[in-house]
Structures are given as structure tokens and as C-alpha cells.
Amino acid sequence: MKSLTMDKPDERNRLDAMKQGVIGKPLDRPDGPIKVSGVAPYAAEYDIANAAYGVFVTAPIARGKVAKIHEDSVTGMDGVIAVVADERFTTRAAQGTAGEAPEQGPGEVDYWGQPIALVVAESYEAARDAAQRLKVDFHADDLADIPFDPDAVEPEKDEGQRQGDLAHAMAEAVHSVDRTYTTHGHASAAMEPHASIAEWQDGKLTVHASLQMLNFNIAELADALDLEEDDVRLVSRFVGGGFGSKLGVSQDVVAAAIAAKQVGRPVKVAMTRQHVFQAIMRRSESTQRLRLAADAEGRLTGFGHEALVSNLPGEDFAEPVTQSSKFLYGGENRLLRIDVARIHRMCAGSVRAPGEAVGMTALEAAMDELAEQVGIDPVELRLRNIPDKHPTKDIPYSSRKLAECLKEGAAAFGWQGEDRKPRQRREGEWWIGTGVASGSRVHNVEEAKARVTLRPGGTALVETDMTDIGTGTYAILGQIAGEMLGLDPKDVEVGLGDTDFPRGPGSGGSWGAPSSGSAVFLACEALREEIASLLKGEEGNLTMKDGTAVVGNTSRTIDELLGGKELQRTGHFQPGKTEKEFAAASYGAFFAEVAVNDWTGETRVRRLTGAFGIGRVLNEKTARSQCLGGMTWAIGAALTEQLLFDPRDGHLVNCDLAEYHVPVHRDVPECEVLLVEERDPAASPIQAKGVGELSMCGAAGAIANAVYNACGVRAYSFPMTPAVLLEGLVEQAKA
Amino acid sequence: MTIEINGESHELPRDPRVTLLDFVREHLKMTGAKKGCDHGQCGACTMLVNGQRINSCLTLAVMHDGDSVTTIEGIGSPAAMAPLQEAFVKHDGYQCGYCTPGQICSATAMLQEIAAGWPSDATADPTDTPKLTREEVQERMSGNLCRCGAYANIVDAIMEVAEGEAA
Amino acid sequence: MRPFDYKRAERLEHAGQLAAAEDTLAIAGGTNLIDLMKLQVETPATLVDLNHLPLAGIEEHEDGLRIGALATNTATAVHPRVRADYPLLARAILAGATQQLRNKATTGGNLCQRTRCWYFTNTDQPCNKREPGSGCGALMGRADLHAVLGTSEACIATYPGDMAVAMAALDATVEIAGEKGSRSVPLREFHLLPGDTPHIENVLEPGEIITAVTLPTPVGGKQIYRKVRERSSYAFALVSVAAALRMEGESIAHAALAFGGLAHKPWHDPRIDDLLTGEKPSMALFDKAADLLLEDAQGYGENDAKIPLARRALTATLIDATGVSA
């Protein structure tokens, strides 16, 4: 095992010294052909003999207790095997990296739509029917006693992060902005609904599930069932999208495991779309007050970002709205805080880019107003406010390409920042306008292990429990190993998504690639050391290319060196002091052109350019795709996506894909992605940072700013549906 | 009562509640067509029935006596990909891959619909013969959601194949 | 989905007999019914499959066109006569749903499409339409999608379709067959307002089946279907305006308008057509038309914006149709 704790920046840039020339290249994904042919297996698609079907029964009350489950109301129905209602059932998904069981005990109901039982039957049709018809009595709490509205309760106050005197700075400022924004909740809405097939053999449990972080999930599942981790195996080779909704073990996993034990045969639970919407994590709605104080040139002297978000009582997670506000811009006088309202809507948790996804939207909209007041190009305003030193901590920034992203993005987009007067460009009924925003997302790494095996014949096998949720893990890990070991990535097999493999942190927080990628890198370094010693040389002098290893004048093929045996090493990466000693983040810039219909307020994004500094690019094609994905999400967050809750019982009303409006093909224009050349030695030994979340952090702000530039209406509520913009349009027409 | 799927004949299920999608996935164990919503709201289950694309989750298997169905498995295999499948790989027209079979089945029929001159909401006048533009493709593919946000790449892949066929 | 008997109707008379039985529903495209059966909003004991009846034709009819009840939305929208003479209908159909759904959805089924109200589709919530007497969840709950015209204390749901809105503007006729014989109903009278009986959505009697929709002689002129929605495709209308408007010289010679997304039925107000017909178009006239449309409009909070939105969508449509914006 080769271990590395990231206690100092890795300035060696070892990957750049390698000769295979595949790292960063826009290679096709190795898993592409099986995905486009429909043979890549997702959780519910394993053909496990004799599997029965389980469908959840959910609570139609907001809070209370299950009084009695009338099993006999369905047990006589054709095909019904059992009604399973076990106190170990989990009632919500675990929060990301929890590593322990989430809330258990379905007899206590905390939100409308909470799963309380599972009906198991011979067919899906029978299970679904019986689940809908199961008679259950409840002791429901009086709705009048239950808080549902985050604005109507006294929130848990956050002490916050304070420095100087923001109120004074605001009073003294030459220019200031004090605005309050609201954002509605979002759903991950991954295309594959959560699903599990659980099977017990000889006391050991195997679950094929759709999960992002197996190393944490196995602990959560084992804890829920009071099992040893050694007696549990989780498999998630293909995950049909996660976006945070599969970070923690979900209710289907635990219920399928318990039901399989109880009925003595494998049980498959594929949650319905409605159940996923109603019972798996929401992104909290937010109310955000932005206060920006600036001098005559627009340099920030004060910076305030205060948010109110919500969650169920007892949940630790609070949408970290101010995450990037801690370091993105300067301003000596600061106040950042996040208050939490405890309400009985479904559980709030991580949805793609928790925090910045909504926090950056509001911040960047406020920055646009400041630029207008100061009367300067909003790109220039941002450039002026990139701080030389961290606003509150005495630590340096790691590599930071924000200025490059703003400048290169502006050039690629054809940005014109001098005259920003709104309502200047019209095409028929449509106002046309442009907007800009900075992008920022914290950088994280987590402990990760990976095993790499060199095999006779000159091929390699990479194994880790890391998942590929669409991000391109299969591609990038093969490229890292290929680069380090001098192999065509086609000759590198990558095995993922199985807890029998060395463990890592999984996919989430954009840390998957830098963490697991570093573990693969370390395993390869160890293999290179062994190969170098076989050649009586030093690793530093070893060249590996096209299956051949060379030290000095000695050249041998890998196949020759292995002598018919495998050579295996495990890499072990751990975060270290750099985490605290550097402010590390990924940065970007967004430029949007929109059309707003003057009559109806319908808004269409016509162009979207994103420029990103994400450290080393591991695969240009998959990295670009991640950026396109985030930008597409931003279009949804800006214009269409909103979770709507009934004010009387807190239930989610738009719990399907017809009424929760994720963007469709026609909403998404051709998008331009620029990946700015960067290595961040403080970020990881492969100098890479995360990419999947950054690309939506700020982009909705750029769209909002473009809407203003187009039609003269500032939106303070997101998404900017026709209903939100209409009043302003009517006023503008009168004026 | 039989149905032909990718050229092979199968007995229809006895339980009339079984949808065409569940029949293919759960009974025939062909899991290329995906269940994303089960209510005709996402397009992941798109199959071609007698040459027309439909949401297989919103139709009962028993209603397809004598019909001929093509699923993604009938369009191509990893070893013998159809041009659209190859183009999706080349353009990274997917991420998680879950909506992909539906996108490809849908695109296969969509190109035939444009060739047949069917108008769409993006066609300026319904009497016009539609042109092969990005907006036409985007409108016609809007019944296939992709939450990963691969839309721009998917359209690139489709345009490449369509323009290749037109040339 | 509850267990049910599946029966196939081979002849029209047979279909009527079968469909007249208790707890029986007829199925054509199934895109709405199967959706609702999965949710147990609909729980028929018997399902009668109409797809084998010879009702899929689209044929010349007097000076107009007769569209069979089983003609798919696609078949209608791509039909050369529909495209040339009733472009409003083609546009409305193409603005609705997706190609996959339009390939299955039929003329008759589309007319019988039920509401998208999220209290109707959630069987754990009250709904007078699904369960008469249980109350209206939307009235005191969330009414974002809901109606602003013709509502009642029992129900504020909308009719969600597009095709029928165009047909209402085009003054189509619904042909109906039943055990007692055939009858015709103007499409504008086919759908009902909710009143005290929101579970009764149209004039069909038990055992009656739609056989066709006939379109009268083409009116020509400018035909516009303007659909305002939250995303650019694949979304139900917030508001839609169907307009068939013909100018002669500087005056409006023929005007027929209908509206979607506003009411429990495709909304047609003959006073608006009368107001416009014979007049010289002007913004003042358009304002009067909007005043007529919205004089009794009532918002329910979340859907208040539908009222100004309808006004503006109507105005924009009339500008587009007449070329007059002053």
C-alpha cells in the first residue's frame, strides 16, 4: 500500500512528466457502447432468480403515529406475499457521508409521504395494487400544531461569521446594494428512480442498489440492520444519475434487505417516481439577504450574506448557501449566516452543488446591481473584487483562475460591457439581453483507496468502490492508470461500484475524481517503483510508454517484466494539512444571452458560455459534459424548477416529471465550454479539482442578469417563471 | 396472442395490467428500455411500435397483439452499433446513460418523421416541409428528458447522423 | 392498477354495449387512462379496447373534414388537409405533449382527457372530482395550475388539452354513438363546467362513445395557437389562445377565439367573437375583448398571474392576427 497524506502541495506534476500522452485527452467513454445499446446494468436490472417485488406504502399524514396496519386488507389478494413493516425501516435517506443509519422507525411519521411499510408480491402489478389498497390507521397530529411554512416559525439562529461592522460599512458606502432573494426548492430528479434488489446467502447480504457513496452506504446499511460490514456487500456498477439524491442509503435499500430476510427470497424495490419526489431529499428553499457595500470604484468594503433555509427537526444538514461567500470576494466588514427553520416538509439534503447552486445565484444578481450603480462593466467589477488575501483567514488561495475565466469567457462570448442599459435590443416580441456571473465552488477531497493490478499480457485492472454516476469515472481512472503505466486506456479495465473493492469516498461534493483519481495515481506510482526496481533503476528515471518500461538503456515490455505473474499495488490517499492551509476552490465565469417575451415573460436562453478553472483536466470530453450538465441545471434553476408544497399539510404537490419542470431539449441552446489551463498543486497529487457542481454555481445569476439587461425587470424570486416577470414587464411598459 | 419484439415472437402476458415496458423488462428480461417515471413524462421507455415511437409505459402489453416492436436491443449492440449509437459515443451524448436508449429509439423515429415531412411545433408554418435544423431536432426530442444535461451533445450526435444521411 | 377484465370491441354496437356496463371504461390511446389507472384514480373493473373499431379515418365531409375518433393526434396534425385548411388545429396538436404521446393519443381520447390537478391525481388528498363530497384540495391548497374562469366551490381544475381548444375556435362538432343511436354535439358544448358535479366532465352518457369530430368549411384567414408555458416544450399551458381571424380590407370579417388553461373546459365566449367581427382592429378593441374574457375571472392566489397573462396573450395574438398594434 502506498499512502500519501496531503500535507503540502504536490508541485511535482508527475502526470505531466509521463509519456503516454492520454491524460486529459477527449477520449470516448469505455462504457459508452454498452450504455447506448441498453446493456449496461442498473440496480433494478440484475436478473436475480426468484426475486419478489416490493412497493412502498406511504403516510398520508404530516406528523403522527401509525396506529394499526391492517395486513389482512391485502394479504388475501392474488400474488401478495407479505406486508413488511419493520421498526428498522429507515424513514428518510441518510445525509451524505453520514456513515450511520438515518432516522428509523416508520411507526413515527414526520412528513407527508413518508414510507411506512412495504408490500411484497409475486409481481410488480400485484405489489403496486396492494400497496395502494393497504388499510392503515393513524393517530395524526393536529395540522394546526405542525409548522410547514419556513417564514412562519422562529428559526434556529446561526451565530454566523462576523468581522468588523457591516451596518456601518453599509451606511458609509458610496455604493450599496441591500436586496432579499428567494429561491424555491429543487429536486435531484435523477432519471433512474432509486432501486434495490436485496439477497441473503448464508447470512450475508448483497444489495444491488443505486447509490453514490458505497463506503458510507455500507456503514449506514449495516448500522440500520445491526450487521457487521463484512456481512454486507453493495453493488452499484451503473447509477442512473445521482445529483446528491443517492449520497446516503435510501429507504428502498434497507426495506428490500429486511423484506428479503422476512420472505426468504430476494426482493426488488424500485421506487415510483412520485415516491422518489416525496420521500428523497429536497434542496431547501432559501431566503437570502445580500448586502454589498462599496467605495466609489466598486471595491467592496462590506459583504453580507444571510440566509434562511429549512429542514426537519433533528436533521444536521442546512443548505450551505454562503459557502463560497466566505472567500470569493473581499470586503473587510462581513456577516455571513444561515438560520434554519424547523418544519415538517420532507427531508432537505444535498442536491447538485448544495449551497452555491442557490447562494451564488443571489450573490451574482446583487453584484450586477452594484455594477450598475457604480456604472462599470460587471466583468470589471468582479475583477476588481478578487481579493489578494483571504478576507477572514490568514491563508493563501491555491491556484485560482477566476480572472482568466472572466476574461477568456468574455472574449469567447463576445461580451460587450460598456453600455449596460437595459431594454436596448428587440427582435419582434422578444427583448434580448446579456448577463455575466462569476462561478465558484469549494474544493474538497476525502480519503480514498484504489487497487491497480498489472497483468501478464500488458494490461491493467483498476478497482475501487468509487461510482460512475454519469461523471465519467470509468474513463478518467483508466486514463490516469494508462498515463502512469504507459498503457493505452483500452488496455486498462476499470471495475467500480462494489464494496468488495478498496474503498473511497464515492461520488459527491465533486471530490470523486480528485480523491479516487489520486488513489489510482498512488497505486500506479507504487507499481512504477516496483517496475523501476526490476529494471535496477529509480522510479524518477523510469519511462513507461506503449507497454514498455525503459530505464537508461534498459528496455523491457511489461509482459516480460511480470514473468507471467500479476503485480498489484493499492494506493491510499488522505486529505491533510493543505485543506486548512489553503483556500482551494474551483472557479468559473458564465455569460448568458436570453430572450424575454414582452407580452408573456416567457424566457429562453439563447446562448450560454461557461469558462472553468478546475485544475488538471482528466478527460476533456467528459469534463466538458459535466460543465454542460451543470449549465443545463442552471437553466432549470433560473427558469423552471420549483418544488411546491401544500401550505396545510406540507406535502409536495408537483411530485412528478410533468409538473416539476426539469429543462427539456428545447430549453437548452448550444452551449460553449472553455476549460482554462490549470494545475492546482494544493488540490490533489494529480493537481485536479472537482467539476460537476461548479458549472451550475452562478450560472442562474448570469441568466437573471441577462433577463434584466433584456427587459429591465430585476427578479428577486427564482425560478423566473412568466408569473414572476409579468408584473415588472407591465410596469416597464407603462413607464 | 403474440407480439414480435426485435424480430422474435413472444406470447403476451395473461395479466392485462402488465404494461409493454414491464413486459419487456420484467418478463423478457430485456432491460434496455428504462423506467424513469412510469407515466409518460420522461421518454426513457421509448420503443418503436410498428415503426412509430411511443412511451411503452403508457400502453398495455395485451393491446399489442400482432404488433411489431423494436427496442434499443433491436437497434444495435456494443459489437455492432447503429450510426446513431456510434454518434452518441463520439459526442458524449449521455452521462449516466439511463435516458440514452430512449433518446436513441426516439431519434431513430424522429429522423424518419422529418424525412416524411411531418411538421412540428418548431416548424414556422404547418404547411411547410420541415427543415433539418437544431431547433426542429430539439423540439422533436423534447419528449426525452435527460437530467444529466447532455442535451447539447445529443443534438450534436443526431445532427451529425442526419446530415450524413442527407448528404 | 386494480385487476380488470380486458375486452376488445370488434364492432361499434358491441363497443357501446360493453362500455355501458357498470365500472367499465373504454380505452383508445391510453396515454391518460393508464396513467390514472396506475395511480388508482381510475379503477375500472372492465376495460374495453376500442382500437379495433374502424374509426381512425380522416375524410372529406361536406365542405369540411371528418376526423375519426381513433385518428391519432399525429395522423391529424400531419394530414395535408388539416395542415392546409385548419392550420390552427395542426398547431395546437403540435404544441401539446410530445411526439411519443401524440403517436398514441387519439381524437376521442384527447377530448376525454382528464385534469392535471395534483389533488385529483393524488389519491391521499381530497378531490370532489375523484371522490365527490371529499372537498377540493386545490381551493385552500396550491392552485398554481388552476382555473380562473367558470370555477365553482367544488372544483377549480382546468381542462389541460390543446387540441380541443383549437377545435372550439374552429366550431367543430362531436359525433357520438350510443345504444340509443347517434347524436351530434357542438364541441363548444361538449365539455361542462364543474358546478356541483365536477366528476361529470362532458356530455357523454354511459355507453356513449365518440366516433368522430367534424370540422366545418374552412374559414381561412390567419390561424394562431399561442401557448404560454413554463418550459419551451412538453408542458401544459398556463394560458393558451386559439384564434381563427380573417381580415377583409381594414376590418375583421371573421373572428373565432377559444382559450386553454383558464377553465374546466376549452373556453369560448361568443361575445368576444361578436365584438371583434366587423370591427376595425385597434388596441382599444383588443382591450375590450380582454375585458369581456376576464370580467368574471377570479384568481386563487398562486394562479393570480393567469389573469394578466391571459389579457396579454390575447392582445399579442390579436396583434399577430391583424397586424395592428395601435
> What does the pLDDT look like over C101-136, one tens digit per residue?
999 999 999 999 999 999 999 999 999 999 999 999
Question: What is the model's pLDDT at position A735?
Answer: 86
Burial pattern A595-623, b for ≥16 Cβ within 10 A else e, equals: bbbbbbbbbbbbbbbbbbbbbbbbbebbb
- Mapped onto helix, strand or coil, the DSSP state of residue A437 is strand
Beta bridge partners of B33: none
**Helix axes of B151-166 and A620-639: crossing angle, nearest 10 degrees:** 110
Residues A78, C3: C-beta atoms closer than 8 Å: yes
Question: What is the model's pLDDT at position C240?
Answer: 98
> Is residue A602 in a domain?
yes
Domain match, A389 and A496 both: no
Q: How many CB atoms lie within 10 A of CB A152?
A: 10
Taking 70 as the threshold, does the pLDDT of residue C294 lie above it?
A: yes
Nearest to A385 by CA among A300, A304, A302, A323: A300
Residues B118, C77: C-beta atoms closer than 8 Å: yes
Domain boundary among B14, B43, B75: B75
Q: Which pLDDT tens digit goes with each residue over B87-122?
A: 999 999 999 999 999 999 999 999 999 999 999 999
Taking 80 as the threshold, does the pLDDT of residue B165 lie above it?
A: no
Domain match, A553 and A592 both: no
Domain match, B99 and B70 both: no
Mutation site, B55, B73, B98, B139, interface A, largest A CB count within 10 A: B98
Q: Which amino acid is at A105?
A: G
Domain ranges, residue B100: 83-166
Smallest CA–CA separation between C65 and chain B, in Å?
Answer: 17
> Is residue A14 in a domain?
no
Smallest CA–CA separation between B66 and chain A, in Å?
Answer: 23
Task: Indicate the residue of C35, C83, C90 with minimum beta-carbon distance to B39.
Answer: C35
Task: Indicate the residue of B15, B16, B143 with minimum beta-carbon distance to C101.
Answer: B143
CA–CA separation, C156 and C137 (whole Å): 9
Task: Establish, for the pair of chains B and C, how many residue pairs have beta carbons separated by less than 8 Å.
Answer: 97
Taking 90 as the threshold, does the pLDDT of residue B125 lie above it?
A: yes
Q: Which are the contacts of A118, defined by CB distance < 8 A and separation ≥ 6?
A: A54, A55, A56, A57, A83, A84, A85, A89, A131, A255, A256, A258, A259, A269
How much of chain B exceeds pLDDT 70, in percent?
99
How far out from the chain centre does Cα B66 lie? 20
Domain match, A201 and A70 both: yes
Q: Which pLDDT tens digit goes with each residue over C23-66?
A: 999 999 999 999 999 999 999 999 999 999 999 999 999 899 99
Q: How many CB atoms lie within 10 A of CB A325?
A: 28
Residue C266 gets which letter from DSSP?
A: -
Domain match, B6 and B70 both: yes
Cell numbers 498543486 correspond to A681
Residues B143, C99: C-beta atoms closer than 8 Å: yes
Are the CB atoms for A382 and A688 separated by under 8 Å?
no
Domain match, A407 and A505 both: no
Q: How many CB atoms lie within 10 A of CB A698?
A: 34
Helix (H) or strand (E) holding A70, with range, is strand A64-70
CATH number at residue B99: 1.10.150.120
Neighbours of chain C (3+ CB pairs under 8 A): A, B
Residue B26 gets which letter from DSSP?
A: I
Confidence of residue C187 (pLDDT cuts 50, 70, 90): very high
Q: Let me know how many helices (H) and strands (E) chain B has, helices first.
A: 6, 5
- Whether the full predicted model's pTM is greater than 0.90, yes or no, is yes
Task: Indicate the residue of A599, A640, A646 with minimum beta-carbon distance to C312.
Answer: A599
Q: In what order do the strands lie in the sheet with A585-597?
A: A425-427, A430-442, A585-597, A603-613, A671-675
Sign of CA dihedral C1, C2, C7, C13: negative
Are the CB atoms for A361 and A718 separated by under 8 Å?
yes
What is chain B's alpha carbon radius of gyration, rounded to the nearest angstrom?
16
Task: Indicate the residue of C6, C34, C83 with minimum beta-carbon distance to B126.
Answer: C83
Return phi, psi of residue A316, to 5°.
-75, -30
Q: Which are the contacts of A81, defined by CB distance < 8 A and separation ≥ 6?
A: A52, A120, A121, A122, A263
Helix (H) or strand (E) holding C108, with range, is helix C107-111
CA–CA separation, C223 and C241 (whole Å): 10
Please count the structural domains in chain B: 2
CA–CA separation, A627 and A609 (whole Å): 10
Q: Which fold has domain C222-322?
A: Enolase-like; domain 1 (3.30.390)
Low-confidence ranges of chain A (pLDDT < 50): none
Domain boundary among B75, B107, B131: B75
Task: Indicate the residue of A191, A471, A632 with minimum beta-carbon distance to B151.
Answer: A632
Q: Which are the contacts of C14, defined by CB distance < 8 A and separation ≥ 6?
A: none
> Is residue A294 in a domain?
no
Smallest CA–CA separation between B106 and chain C, in Å?
Answer: 8
Cell numbers 418550459 correspond to C231
Which residue numbers of C have CB closer than 8 Å to B's CBs?
1, 3-6, 27, 30-31, 34-35, 38, 47, 49, 51, 74, 77-78, 82-84, 87, 90-91, 94-95, 97-101, 103-104, 232-234
C-alpha cell, C100: 411519443
Residues C309, A726: C-beta atoms closer than 8 Å: yes
A693 assigned to active site: yes
CA–CA separation, A494 and A30 (whole Å): 9
C-alpha cell, C223: 390561424
Domain match, B34 and B54 both: yes
Chain C CB contacts of B12 below 8 Å: none
CA–CA separation, A378 and A626 (whole Å): 26
CATH number at residue B29: 3.10.20.30
> Is residue A305 in a domain?
no
Domain match, B97 and B147 both: yes
Task: Indicate the residue of C27, C95, C100 with minimum beta-carbon distance to B143.
Answer: C100
Q: Let me know how many helices (H) and strands (E) chain A has, helices first.
A: 17, 31
The strand pair at A717-718 and A175-183 is best described as parallel
Nearest to C169 by CA among C87, C286, C77: C87
Chain B CB contacts of A242 below 8 Å: 96
Domain match, A418 and A453 both: no
Are the CB atoms for A497 and A465 separated by under 8 Å?
yes
Domain match, B100 and B61 both: no
Are the CB atoms for A301 and A169 separated by under 8 Å?
yes
Please count the structural domains in chain A: 3
Domain match, B102 and B161 both: yes
> Is residue A345 in a domain?
no
Domain ranges, residue A561: 2-6+448-574
CA–CA separation, A8 and A11 (whole Å): 9
Residue C204 gets which letter from DSSP?
A: P
Smallest CA–CA separation between A671 and chain B, in Å?
Answer: 7
Cis peptide before B101, with omega less than 30 degrees from 0?
Answer: no
Mutation site, C47, C72, C99, C228, interface B, largest B CB count within 10 A: C99
Chain B residue with Cα closest to C236? B41
* DSSP codes, A18-33: -SS--TB--PPPTTHH
Taking 90 as the threshold, does the pLDDT of residue C13 lie above it?
A: no
Mutation site, B60, B96, B139, B140, interface A, largest A CB count within 10 A: B96
Residues B60, C77: C-beta atoms closer than 8 Å: no
Residue B73 contacts A where some CB pair is shorter than 8 Å? yes
Domain match, A604 and A558 both: no
CA–CA separation, A93 and A46 (whole Å): 23
Contact residues, A window 626-665, toward C, CB-based 8 Å cutoff? 639-640, 644-648, 651, 653-655, 658-659, 661, 663-665
Domain boundary among A574, A597, A619: A574
Chain A residue with Cα closest to B139? A666
Residue A152 gets which letter from DSSP?
A: G
For residue A370, the number of C-alpha atoms closer than 13 Å in the C-beta half-sphere is 36
Residue B149 contacts A where some CB pair is shorter than 8 Å? yes
CATH number at residue A48: 3.30.365.10
Mutation site, B35, B47, B60, interface C, largest C CB count within 10 A: B60
CA–CA separation, C121 and C39 (whole Å): 7
Domain match, A80 and A126 both: yes
Residue B5 gets which letter from DSSP?
A: E
Q: Which are the contacts of A707, defined by CB distance < 8 A and separation ≥ 6?
A: A433, A435, A594, A596, A603, A713, A715, A720, A725
CA–CA separation, A473 and A208 (whole Å): 19
CA–CA separation, A734 and A732 (whole Å): 5
Residue A604 contacts C where some CB pair is shorter than 8 Å? yes
Q: Which are the contacts of C111, defined by CB distance < 8 A and separation ≥ 6?
A: C161, C163, C164, C174, C187, C190, C191, C202, C210, C213
Sign of CA dihedral C37, C42, C44, C47: negative
Chain C CB contacts of A663 below 8 Å: 231
Residue A125 contacts C where some CB pair is shorter than 8 Å? yes
Domain match, A482 and A416 both: no
* DSSP codes, A444-462: ----EEEEEEEETTTEEEE
How much of chain A exceeds pLDDT 70, in percent?
100
ipTM above 0.95, yes or no: yes
Residues C83, B39: C-beta atoms closer than 8 Å: no
* DSSP codes, A616-633: S-SBHHHHHHHHHHHHHH
CA–CA separation, C217 and C65 (whole Å): 8
Smallest CA–CA separation between C103 and chain B, in Å?
Answer: 6
Domain match, B69 and B22 both: yes
Which position among A100, A693, A727, A731 bears the catalytic label? A693
C-alpha cell, C202: 362532458
Taking 90 as the threshold, does the pLDDT of residue C179 lie above it?
A: no
- Mapped onto helix, strand or coil, the DSSP state of residue C93 is helix
Chain B CB contacts of C98 below 8 Å: 43, 142-143
Domain boundary among B75, B97, B123: B75
CA–CA separation, A464 and A506 (whole Å): 9
Domain match, B100 and B62 both: no
C-alpha cell, B130: 420541415
Residues A667, C231: C-beta atoms closer than 8 Å: yes
Residues C30, B59: C-beta atoms closer than 8 Å: yes
Helix (H) or strand (E) holding A544, with range, is strand A542-545
Domain match, B54 and B94 both: no
Beta bridge partners of C175: C184, C212
Smallest CA–CA separation between B96 and chain C, in Å?
Answer: 22
Residue B126 contacts C where some CB pair is shorter than 8 Å? yes
Mutation site, B42, B52, B54, B125, interface C, largest C CB count within 10 A: B54
Task: Establish, for the pair of chains A and B, how many residue pairs have beta carbons separated by less than 8 Å.
Answer: 193
Question: What is the model's pLDDT at position B166?
Answer: 66
Domain boundary among A574, A599, A615: A574
Chain B residue with Cα closest to C121? B39
